Amino acid sequence: MAINLDDAQGPDNKGNQPIDSPIIPDGPAAYFSSLPVKTCTSAVLEAGIPASLSHTAGTFLCNHIAYGLAHLIATEFPHVRGGFVHVPFTPAQAADRERRPSMASATAAEALRVVLTTASTTDRDEDAETGRRGPKSWLSRLRK
């Protein structure tokens, strides 16, 4: 989910630090990903790559990108599906950060390939209770 909020804990590379600022002033409060996020996460795990589902992209850069993409899709390209995927730091990037997960670039690229393949071949998300794909997923119920 992407929310219509920029709220940075610290400044970006240019010194900007928006606090409680809407991304699109008159935009909706939030957008849900139109990707089958649970099915994609399961597919990555089945490929032997660590993954977990997150229902938020945070409140700064990642969320800003996710919300901007979702708003563009909703207003200009309603036939397109889209979403946001966090990828971990590389081991070299994580080396000077305390307790940050990391993943080799090749592994992250493979995980993204699995996500893209799954999203392009799957219309329905997994049901949260059964793990099966079907019309009873929370996302399907929400869109009715």
Provide the CATH number for the domain around residue 54: 3.40.630.20
* CA angle, 2 then 119 then 111, to 5°: 85
Please give the backbone phi and psi of residue 30, each rounded to the nearest 5 degrees, phi first.
-160, 160
Q: Does the pLDDT at position 95 exceed 70?
A: yes
Determine if the pTM surpasses 0.85.
Answer: no
Q: What is the pLDDT of residue 131?
A: 56
| pLDDT tens, residue by residue, 121-130 | 998 887 655 5
- Pairing type for strands 30-31 and 2-3 reads antiparallel
- Mean pLDDT lowest among 75-79, 116-120, 127-131: 127-131
- If we measure between CA atoms, which residue out of 119, 124, 122 comes closest to residue 135? 124
Q: How many CB atoms lie within 10 A of CB 117?
A: 13
Q: What is the pLDDT of residue 87?
A: 92
Structural domain containing residue 32: 2-143
119/125 Cα distance (integer angstroms)? 9
State how many domains the chain has.
1
pLDDT tens sequence across 57-74:
888 889 999 999 999 999
Q: Report the pLDDT averaged over residues 101-118.
A: 96
